[in-house]
Amino acid sequence: MLTTLNTAYSDTRATDLAWTLGREPLPALATLDLELGGASLQLRLLGASHQVLLEEDRGRCSETVACIPGSSTPLPLGVAKRAGDWEYEFAARMEVLSPPQFAGRAQELLALVADHPHGLAGVFPGSPHAFTAMLARRHEGQVHWRTWHAYPQDGQLVATRTRVGVRVPAGPGRPTANRLRPSALLAG
């Protein structure tokens, strides 16, 4: 789903982005509710970027990547957290692109997300390349989402990826690799 967001940027530079887990739902400009194999997922576009709310029988997870006044946690390159059987993995990277590269990448990402049944993208007024986009999926029993935050004035594109699930211990007949089932993590 592609929408135009009726607000100006709240976070005008990639370096303004912060990351938090467990935050209560913030006011959203657009949302997309999904059911992914027993897990309820809500993708939320904020004036200050994104929030994802994941809920399942066993708990909840709330991830926020946004410009949050007073936040002391800048956007990390990577996070891996375990709480009992729950696992959460997050990674972020920033690309700096020339104006033509940025325009092409923006068009590519917006086209990818706009018509995807598990995608939500919002374009900010003033530039067709100022956007936040999100895409979710369930894969091998895990809930995954990716996000993109575009800053055309600086040619910066911030991409994040997240994986959430519950660890299934290795045992007879099970692979030794960690296999996760979708569930929530770190509600607060």
Note the pTM of the prediction, 2 decimals: 0.84
Other Cβ atoms less than 10 A from the Cβ of 148: the count is: 22
Per-residue pLDDT reduced to its tens digit, 70-125: 766 678 889 999 865 668 999 999 999 999 999 999 999 999 999 899 999 999 88
Dist CA 132 CA 14 (whole Å): 12
Dist CA 120 CA 100 (whole Å): 24
Dist CA 126 CA 106 (whole Å): 15
What six digits make up the tokens of 55?
Answer: 């809920």
SS3 113: helix
Q: Scanning the structure block, which residue is given the tokens 């303004």?
A: 16
Confidence category of residue 146, pLDDT binned at 50, 70, 90: very high
